Structure 1
């Protein structure tokens, strides 16, 4: 028997908090499941349908609901992936971990007509599995359904802009504008494909780098990927990092961080170190000086706060940059380096530069 509008609205108000909690709980569960599956995502956003949106939905002429549970999208979660092919990987996790309501689930990507512009996402209506519903933290959601929408970042951007502009179908768009919509949709689809291709090429490149470093380091240019591989495979930088940590009373981490390594790439280029073989030789030749600098740095920069973060495999490379700069004897070059990467107090960078040169020349930052 079809419930009237007022009865459905009353039921909605009674159970809104439950659906809102279900959406949030589902989002939390998805975060854990996707982390376990090693799928990186841009965002997971839970939501419960607002009263006005719910009222509009049940007022449609074709709407036939015998109870509140017949409305399958009161609770919702939107999963935004970085890449379009991750949508299918996420979908696989959802199919494995939830009960799928096939009748109300739809892959709207497959419904995109040739004369329709834009992106459509994958929609699953799901409920908890019997096993999970028996757990105390989930039991109150037994029998409830939640809609999970999955799309890529670019698909999401299109949908948000499309919604803001207020056009969703060809017939709604003024004829002179439609061609522009279609061209833009094609560009975004191509961009999604190219981002995936770049990701795959970077992964393939990273897989080849260790053997290239081993065979011909003189031919391997320094970039974020090659530097991380070098820091994780050579024997010297871990030893230097351990000694720096002991000298400065800090902890040490053994896994190279891509962010720290990436910053060192441009710093090394500044001092003329552009290949792995040149870097390896510089670290070997100046290892003692790097350790001396690590023990002297607080006298060279007494005004700077002492770092508390762990020493990373890239830290010896960071100090190497200072050593090579000091070796030039050029205070202006040191200051330019500090300015470029916003190192230290802007008001004392020239003083730091002079003390660094003094240290390199005499061993005493305050003695020229």
Structure 2
């Protein structure tokens, strides 16, 4: 059986129901916490999984065993209002889940603009795994992204414009336009966060 067929079977039988249970768990754990716009989970689509599974580094396959090595077969997102909420929610999440990796993704250079986001690789909790599932099909981890509304909006549009296989590659000017919109989103996040902090300080005084 090909990797694609194996993943398609995994997607249908275990990933979709686990993602649904994980979303319910996250919503329950974070119920009552302020300034959360939405919480969502979804399994990685077959097309996106295969694109990642077939990726190469220096002409060599990046993954020898993609069904076990790719850690974001289930992805979760928490979208919040302000930048300071990202670190607050990140700390809360790490109290409930065993963290394998946690990092802020930033453009490579300080004078460049692109993707911003807070990413975690977390152990998949046993609570969301039905005992009837074939454990050989169940991944060990899931990926959690915590982003502001502006970060989320930019990354979704950027992915739609630049990373779909059928899309023509963006030229240099179009890439500069995307970088410009990222800079605007970064600035908007900073301004809204500063205004929120000032308003909070005024209410406390």
TM-score by length of 1: 0.46
C-alpha distance in 1 between matches for 2:80 and 2:144 = 13
Alpha-carbon deviation of 1:138?
A: 4.2
Ranges in structure 2 where 5+ consecutive residues have no aligned partner: 164-168
The two structures, once aligned, show a CA RMSD in angstroms of 2.8
Ranges in structure 1 where 5+ consecutive residues have no aligned partner: 1-5, 209-368
C-alpha distance in 2 between matches for 1:70 and 1:204 = 46
Cα 1:182/1:205, change in 2 over 3 Å: same
Equivalent residues of 1:123, 1:149 under 8 A apart: yes
Counterpart for residue 95 of structure 1: 94
Counterpart for residue 126 of structure 1: 122
Equivalent residues of 1:23, 1:146 under 8 A apart: no
Cα 1:8/1:101, change in 2 over 3 Å: farther
Alpha-carbon deviation of 1:94?
A: 2.0
Counterpart for residue 13 of structure 1: 8
Counterpart for residue 80 of structure 2: 81
Residue deviations 1:265-288 (CA, integer Å, cap 9, x gap): xxxxxxxxxxxxxxxxxxxxxxxx
C-alpha distance in 2 between matches for 1:48 and 1:179 = 31
TM-score by length of 2: 0.77
Q: Highest CA radius of gyration, 1 or 2?
A: 1
- Runs of 4 or more, structure 1, over 6 Å off, are none
Equivalent residues of 1:34, 1:40 under 8 A apart: no
Aligned partner of residue 35 in structure 1, secondary structure: coil
93, 105, 116: which one pairs with 1:108?
Answer: 105
Cα 1:59/1:180, change in 2 over 3 Å: closer
The count of aligned residue pairs is: 190
Which structure carries more strand by proportion?
2
Bigger relative contact order (CA 8 A; separation at least 6): 2
Cα 1:207/1:101, change in 2 over 3 Å: closer
Counterpart for residue 197 of structure 2: 200
Which structure carries more helix by proportion?
1
C-alpha distance in 2 between matches for 1:161 and 1:13 = 26
Which is worse superposed, 93-102 or 115-124? Answer: 115-124
